[in-house]
Structure 1
Amino acid sequence: MQFGIFTVGDVTTDPTTGRTPSEHERIKAMVAIALKAEEVGLDVFATGEHHNPPFVPSSPTTMLGYIAARTERIVLSTATTLITTNDPVKIAEDFAMLQHLAGGRVDVMMGRGNTGPVYPWFGQDIRQGIPLAIENYALLHRLWREDVVDWQGRFRTPLQGFTSTPRPLDGVPPFVWHGSIRSPEIAEQAAYYGDGFFANHIFWPKEHTQRMVGLYRQRFEHYGHGSADQAIVGLGGQVFMRKNSQDAVREFRPYFDNAPVYGHGPSLEEFTAETPLTVGSPQQVIDRTLAFRDYVGDYQRQLFLMDHAGLPLKTVLEQLDILGEEVVPVLRREFAARRPAGVPDAPTHAALVARRAAQAAGDASGQASAPAAS
């Protein structure tokens, strides 16, 4: 199982000091957080994509390419790549290039985003959000797997004899997660292609996440990709930790109360009771995270949101130390002990290359033996 962090890259005033970091400071902080994630032994760093204030990560592949050059092991991903407003051709080429630069340590999460004005900024209509997501990904899927593509659809100019460059590393595209908060159509899309499904899991009650993941698993099996428990599932989560829970609650409360997304709404106590947000001791985070398995089944990737709402970089780095030293080692051990033998590991580039080679060998063996059998 993979453990990591994802960032939305918000530039938010620290409510305890009144200081707002500059965009430059926030971008550099995101890089520092990614480097720290590798240092403490996490598996994944993921960045969102946003094109509006107060967010800075408008060019995820630029940032991930820079981080790739400064890391050796950690998988680099997106927490959202806007499949609706980005050209599939550009996505295909950008992420294939990143694959080569990072030596395969790349995957990607497709999403529609949650900011309505972005659509007209990129020449699209938000009312077509779901059809755009479906059509654009259908094209992207082909661009990574076919050397020459002819294409005609509703939302972009046709392609004739087009080859995206560079081709995916080792002939294997980046693994794709389809991320969603609330759209069953996206769970269906992930299942249709046999891709991963990432449930955001940070705003809604567990019953909602359970329904979404359950739908994806059911449809994954329906499309013949394997049994429901072999579907590839990822979850988001939010945590803030101190040695004792009272200190964690006291320190995090002003950040929660003024957060851009959920500030000035439900109380911290109400939100932690109704969603997976955990504010407390490391043991509380361990217990709460292990309980996710009770309602989504065994899953492959757990990402935590830790650097939002104006939290200073020093605090976020302290949180990563706690996560890497006290929480993740226990989670690895406990999840591994409870996982049935048939549940697959999280996909990696090396594993996907090996699977492709095994399939090719099997196909060749079948073709070679067919004449003798007849």
Structure 2
Amino acid sequence: MQFGIFTVGDVTPDPTTGRAPTEHERIMATVAIAEKAEEVGLDVFATGEHHNPPFVCSSPTTLLGYLAARTNRLVFSTSTTLITTNDPVKIAEDFSVLQHLSGGRVDVMLGRGNTGPVYPWFGEDIRQAVPLTVEKYALLRRLWREEVVDWEGQFRTPLHGFTLAPQPLDGVPPFVWHGSIRTPEIAELAAFHGDGFFANHIFWPASHTERMVQFYRRRFEHYGHGTAAQAIVGLGGQVFMRRNSQDAVDEFRPYFDVAPVYGHGPSLEEFSEQTPLTVGSPQQVVEKTLGFKEYVGDYQRQLFLVDHAGLPLKTVLEQLDLLGEVVATLRVEMEKDRPADVPDAPTHDSLLAASRKDTEDD
């Protein structure tokens, strides 16, 4: 089981002081957060992709390449890479380079994004979001797996005799997660290819996440990739902790109330009751997180959002110290009664070993 954090890279004023960090401060704070994540024993750091203010994560692979040089163990991912508005050739190139720089410590989460204006900025039509996703991903898979690609589709100029440079590290493409909040077609796409499915799991009630994940599991089994229980599932979530639960609620409330992702709506208490958001003590975070597998089954990756809504860097680093303690407990508890045939999250090493075994079997 992998545990980690993800960021959306928002530049939000601290509601308790009124001061917003500069873009430079926010980027460098993200670096400090990732380094702290490795220090406290987390497994994964992921960054989103946005191309508009108030966000600074417009070039995920640039950030992740820099972080790879400053860390030794973290796996880097995205949350998400916009398959709809990026060129598959450029995605394939960027992540191949990142594989080589990081020694294979990278995978990718693909998604459609939730910012409508980004589509025309990159010459695409939001009404074609799902067809764009399907076609571009089909091309991306071929670019990572075929030495010479001849291709023609609906949304992009044809390729004739194209060879990706560099090729994926060890000839093994990065593992792909497909991220979605509400779109069953994306769960179907993940299942069809035997890829991972990542349910954002922040905004919606548990019943919705349960339906999406169980649909993906059934379709994964339908396509012959393994049993439904062996499907590769990831979940998002957000936590805010203090040793005393009421202190956590009092401190986080002003940030929640104006958060660009979910502020100005239900109260903190209502949102916490209806969604995976956990604001309280470390033990409360452990208990609520352990409850996730009651409705999604045993899963492979849990990522937490900890730096959203204008929280100051000092506070975020304190959250990571607490999260390190929580994850140490979750690692033990999550393994209890976990069936032996439920796989771990794929890594470069495990994918390489599987590839070599397939070659030997042939």
Which band: TM-score by shorter chain? over 0.9
Deviations 1:251-272, CA, capped at 9 Å, x for gaps: 0000000101211110000000
TM-score of the two chains, using structure 2 as the length reference: 1.00
Q: Deviations over 1:307-339 (max 9, x none)?
A: 000000000000000001x20011000111221
Residue 141 of structure 2 aligns to a residue whose secondary structure is: helix
Query: Distance in 2 between the 1:184 and 1:127 partners?
Result: 16
Give the number of equivalent residue pairs. Answer: 362
2:18 paired with 1:18: yes
* Counterpart position of 1:205: 205
Alpha-carbon distance in structure 2 between the residues aligned to 1:66 and 1:301:
23
Aligned to 1:171: 171
Q: Which residue of 1 aligns with 2:90?
A: 90
Structure 1 Cα separation of the partners of residues 29 and 338 of structure 2: 35
Q: Tell me, in whole angstroms, the C-alpha distance in 1 between the residues paired with 2:94 and 2:215.
A: 31
Task: Spell out the pairing of 1:288-303 with structure 2 (5 A cutoff).
Answer: 288-303=288-303
TM-score by length of 1: 0.96
Deviation at 1:107, TM superposition (A): 0.2
Q: Which position in structure 2 is the counterpart of 1:372?
A: none
> 2:354 matched to which residue of 1?
355
CA deviations on 1:129-172 (whole Å, 9 max, x unpaired) are: 00000000000011000010010000000001101110000000
Residue 304 of structure 2 aligns to a residue whose secondary structure is strand
Q: What secondary structure does 1:167 align onto?
A: coil
* Structure 1 residue aligned with 2:214: 214
Note the 1:337-356 alignment, pairs <5 A: 337-356=336-355
Please name the residue that 2:147 is paired with.
147
> What amino acid is aligned across from residue 360 of structure 1 in structure 2?
T
Relative to structure 2, which stretch is displaced further, 332-341 or 198-207? 332-341
Question: Is the partner of 1:338 in helix, strand or coil?
Answer: coil
SS in 2 for 1:46: strand
* Matching residue's letter, 2:103: G
In the alignment, the residues of structure 2 paired with residue 229 and residue 84 of structure 1 have an alpha-carbon distance, to the nearest angstrom, of 30
Matching residue of 1:225: 225
Whole-angstrom distance in 2 between the partners of 1:261 and 1:321: 24
**Counterpart amino acid of 2:85?**
T
Hey, what does 1:161 align to over in structure 2? 161
Question: What is aligned with 1:244?
Answer: 244
Matched with 2:36 is 36
Looking at structure 2, the residues matched to 81 and 328 of structure 1 have their Cα atoms a distance apart, in angstroms, of: 26
**What residue ranges of structure 1 are gaps of 5+ in the alignment?**
364-374
Q: Distance in 1 between the 2:96 and 2:242 partners?
A: 40
Partner of 1:368: none
Look up the equivalent residue of 1:151 and give its one-letter code.
Answer: W
The structure whose Rg is larger is 1
1:212-271 deviation digits (Å, cap 9, x = unpaired): 000100000000000000000000010000001100000000000010121111000000
> Could you tell me which residue of structure 2 aligns to residue 107 of structure 1?
107
Q: Runs in 1 of length 4+ with deviation above 2 angstroms?
A: none
**Letter aligned with residue 170 of structure 1:** D
CA distance in 1, matches of 2:216, 2:264: 33
Q: Distance in 1 between matches of 2:98 and 2:198?
A: 21
Q: CA deviation at 1:70?
A: 0.3
Q: Output the CA distance in 2 between the equivalents of 1:323 and 1:229.
A: 27
Could you list the runs of 5+ residues in structure 2 that have no partner in the other structure?
A: none
Alignment-mate amino acid for residue 42 of structure 1:
L
Give runs of aligned pairs for residues 65-144 of structure 1, distance below 5 A.
65-144=65-144
Structure 2 Cα separation of the partners of residues 282 and 144 of structure 1? 42
> What's the counterpart of residue 2 of structure 2?
2
Question: 1: CA distance between counterparts of 2:344 and 2:300?
Answer: 6
Secondary structure at the aligned position of 2:292 is classed as helix
Q: Name 1:370's counterpart in structure 2.
A: none
User: How many angstroms does 1:26 deviate by?
Assistant: 0.2
Match of 2:330 in 1: 331
Residues 265-280 of structure 1 correspond to what in structure 2 (within 5 A)? 265-280=265-280
One-letter amino acid of the structure 2 residue matched with residue 354 of structure 1: A
Counting aligned pairs with the same residue, the percent is 79
